[in-house]
Amino acid sequence: MVRKIIITSALLLFFQGKNLYSQYTITAYPPSGNNVALEQLWHFMIAGNVDPTYVEFYVALRVFNDQNNLILKSNSTTFPITTLPMYVNFSDLSLMNPITTTLYDNFYTEVVNNGGYFPPGSYHVIFTLYGRPLDGEFADLNQSEYDFVIEALYPPTLIFPCSEAITTVYPTFSWTPAYISSASNIQYCLRMVEIYSGQTAYQAIMSNPSYYEECNIPVTLLNYPPAASSILPNQPYAWQVTATVNGVPVVSSNVCEFVYELPDSVVAVDSSNMYAKLYSQLDEKSFHVRDNLLKFVYHYNDYSVEIGDSIHFEIIDEETNIVIKHTGDNIAIGPYIIKFGENYYQFDLSSCGLDLLEQKFYLLKVKGPMNTNYYLRFYHAEGNGENRCN
């Protein structure tokens, strides 16, 4: 009979302990983002019913690496609980301070001592709430745990144009590739804005509306398209590239600025007997026209559609990026029809022909087969006064 009473008393103590244990709960909240400092882990809520027999509490935070090795443990100071729920955020840890931290892996010294961030890896965090009754020792009341991952992220770095002047309205933007440890299919989003007076490039990219934006770029360069808004002379622009995974932005590059400037002067070249070459890619070269005659050679075997067809062209004002002349306008000299071999063209730029303003840059675009284009940038200098109208 005595034995039965002893067992019953033990069971009563067991259930009483479980009831006290369940009176308090702690719920921890995982950190967000990829830059996580130790203090940011202190984010939790204590809830339940206040038990007046418990007079002191503290919280222990333990962090394990992906090998399940304990790397650090932080303990808060002791504190009372008078009302519940109690919410603790790392932005205000006055109730938890001073927090003491013990390192079990010196690799994380920088994280703890200098406010650094956890390096790339997988981590497991356990929060434990301890309580002490007036006449007893601290005991484990409840715990909460979660995992978080720090990605290995290396942002793209802008290459061109960056803090420089460009001399074309169709620049080729380029940048280094990004690295994201958990992703192999990385695409890019390029965003360009105008820089307003008094702004830095960073301020502009953060606050101004997009002047041009292109996403889902699979490579690390982009040719500025002619159909986009014109890049205006002497207007500074800022641009940035963001790496995306499945359309979700992950990491962004630095911010660069550039300005489109027309050259102050052009080296005069006697073009009276020179014929310019067309190029499939735009570059910085410009052909100087001094006598109102734009002369260029057009190769049949490169970009002629059909013998006997007319040459298809556009002339673009580079300051405004507007097509001002095109196929069908009066070129005055010719020839106009494509023939076999090399075609030597002379376009009269004076008022008797295409009537282009002098001392300006223009872009000649010749349309070839299979949607190919060939280009010649030229500068129309002063005419020599020769009258070709007769």
Owning domain of residue 285: 276-380
Q: What is the pLDDT of residue 287?
A: 81
Asked whether residue 73 falls in the same domain as residue 143, the answer is yes
Asked whether residue 344 falls in the same domain as residue 308, the answer is yes
CA distance 270 to 295: 12
Q: What is the pLDDT of residue 303?
A: 44
Asked whether residue 130 falls in the same domain as residue 11, the answer is yes
Classify residue 11: in a domain, yes or no: yes
Asked whether residue 12 falls in the same domain as residue 95, the answer is yes
CA distance 204 to 185: 29
- Residues 62, 95 contacting (CB under 8 angstroms): no
CA distance 261 to 233: 5
Classify residue 172: in a domain, yes or no: yes
Classify residue 210: in a domain, yes or no: yes
Among 150, 176, 200, the domain boundary falls at: 150
Asked whether residue 289 falls in the same domain as residue 374, the answer is yes
Classify residue 354: in a domain, yes or no: yes
* Contacts (Cβ under 8 Å, ≥6 apart) of 7: none
| Strand partners for 180 | 153
Asked whether residue 339 falls in the same domain as residue 219, the answer is no
- Residues 343, 330 contacting (CB under 8 angstroms): no
CATH of the domain at 198: 2.60.40.10
Asked whether residue 199 falls in the same domain as residue 163, the answer is yes
Q: Is the dihedral of CA 285, 290, 292, 298 positive or negative?
A: negative
Q: What is the pLDDT of residue 257?
A: 95
Among 150, 181, 214, the domain boundary falls at: 150
* Among the listed residues 154, 158, 217, 156, the one whose alpha carbon sits nearest the alpha carbon of residue 181: 154
Classify residue 266: in a domain, yes or no: no
> Given phi > 0 = left and psi -120 to 50 = alpha, else beta, which region is 334?
left
Query: What is the token pair recorded at 111?
Result: 């994280």
Asked whether residue 281 falls in the same domain as residue 240, the answer is no
Asked whether residue 106 falls in the same domain as residue 217, the answer is no
Classify residue 164: in a domain, yes or no: yes
* Among the listed residues 179, 153, 171, the one whose alpha carbon sits nearest the alpha carbon of residue 226: 171
Classify residue 389: in a domain, yes or no: no
- Residues 356, 382 contacting (CB under 8 angstroms): no
pLDDT in tens, the chain (390 residues): 334 333 333 333 333 444 444 589 999 999 988 889 999 999 999 999 999 999 999 999 999 999 999 999 999 999 999 999 999 999 899 999 999 999 999 888 888 887 788 988 999 999 999 999 988 999 999 999 999 999 888 889 999 999 888 887 788 899 999 888 777 789 999 999 999 999 999 999 999 999 999 999 999 999 898 778 888 888 999 999 999 988 888 889 999 999 988 655 444 444 456 778 777 777 667 788 878 888 887 765 544 445 567 778 899 988 788 899 988 888 877 666 766 666 778 888 988 889 899 888 899 988 776 667 888 888 887 665 555 565
Q: What is the pLDDT of residue 351?
A: 86
Q: What is the pLDDT of residue 289?
A: 83
pLDDT digits (tens, 9 = 90+) for 277-311: 777 777 667 788 878 888 887 765 544 445 567 77
Among 118, 150, 182, the domain boundary falls at: 150
CA distance 367 to 354: 18
CATH of the domain at 301: 2.60.40
Give yes or no for a cis peptide into 161 (omega within 30° of 0). yes
Asked whether residue 237 falls in the same domain as residue 321, the answer is no
Q: What is the pLDDT of residue 328?
A: 84
CA distance 42 to 44: 7
Classify residue 265: in a domain, yes or no: no
Total structural domains in the chain?
A: 3
Asked whether residue 138 falls in the same domain as residue 17, the answer is yes
The per-residue DSSP string of 260-313 comes to E---S-------TT--EEPBSS--S--EEE-SSEEEEEEEHHHH-SSTTPBP-E
Asked whether residue 181 falls in the same domain as residue 282, the answer is no
Q: What is the pLDDT of residue 4?
A: 39
